[in-house]
Amino acid sequence: MRLNKYISETGVCSRRQADQWIEQGRVTINGAAATLGTQVNEGDRVEVDGRAVQPQAASVYIALNKPVGITCTTERHVEGNIIDYIGHPQRIFPIGRLDKDSEGLILLTNNGDIVNELLRVENRHEKEYVVTVDHPITDEFLEGMARGVRILGVMTQPCRVRKIGQLSFAIILTQGLNRQIRRMCAAFDYQVRRLQRVRIVNIDLRGIKVGQWRELSMDELRGLLPQRTTW
């Protein structure tokens, strides 16, 4: 990589400014003064005014279809942690959580700037789940879930719920209390047998088999956080 490009990708200046710094003798490679057009090779140490610089890591955005048994933690000593499971070369972390005994869609990134934006309740980002319970679903249960349920000392926000089968339903939430769906169901004496997240805003599980992951496309990123124009 040309030296001026290498310096510009650290975010400290433009290529043109980097060329000026090189001409002014402010840039060294491995301790030696650099010249215009110099190439930077892997392992080279580039310094500007005696301070080392290196390109910023490209932003990573991943959608994983998490299997049951994987824990959404960055703590590597935890067996079955999501970071070791994915094995990505960049340092990434999950956006939010999905219980160890739940499965489905979870997003991961190395861009800490977007995490709070995605998790902030007032932004009302939709998350859709398909849930299987232990006995037949009634209209009263669906209506009660949709109105809101008192758990953890608070009333859950109204949500959309629809019956899929005798023992299964879909629910769309815009908040994320601890084990929220399981606690909501328990309030009506239902036990969750299977819980799968199938969508986060505009991202869904299509094309991602259980245990697999893929990077998000630019169109998906724009739909996920439409107010952002650059990544």
pLDDT tens sequence across 2-31: 999 888 877 677 888 899 999 999 999 999
The per-residue pLDDT for 1 is: 85
Average pLDDT over residues 150-174: 97
When the pLDDT of each residue in the chain is averaged and rounded to a whole number, the result is 90
Q: What domains are defined for the chain?
A: 3-53 (3.10.290.10), 61-120+206-224 (3.30.70.580), 126-200 (3.30.70.1560)
The active-site residue, picked from 49, 99, 113, 219, is 99
Q: Model pTM?
A: 0.76
d(CA 41, CA 46): 10
Condensed to tens digits (0 to 9), the pLDDT of residues 108-142 reads: 988 776 776 676 655 678 999 999 999 999 999 99
pLDDT for the residue 228 = 46
pLDDT on residue 26: 94
pLDDT of residue 231: 37
Mapped onto helix, strand or coil, the DSSP state of residue 88 is: coil
First-to-final CA distance of the chain: 22
| 129 close to 198: Cβ distance less than 8 angstroms | yes
Q: What is the pLDDT of residues 195-230, one digit of tens each?
A: 999 999 999 999 999 999 999 988 898 888 755 433
Q: The dihedral of CA 100, 103, 106, 110: what is its sign?
A: positive
Q: Which own/partner contact pairs does 45-49 have at CB distance under 8 Å and 24+ positions apart?
A: 46/3, 46/6, 46/7, 48/7, 48/12, 48/21
Let me know if 101 is a catalytic residue: no
Provide the Cα torsion 69, 70, 72, 73; round to 10°: 110
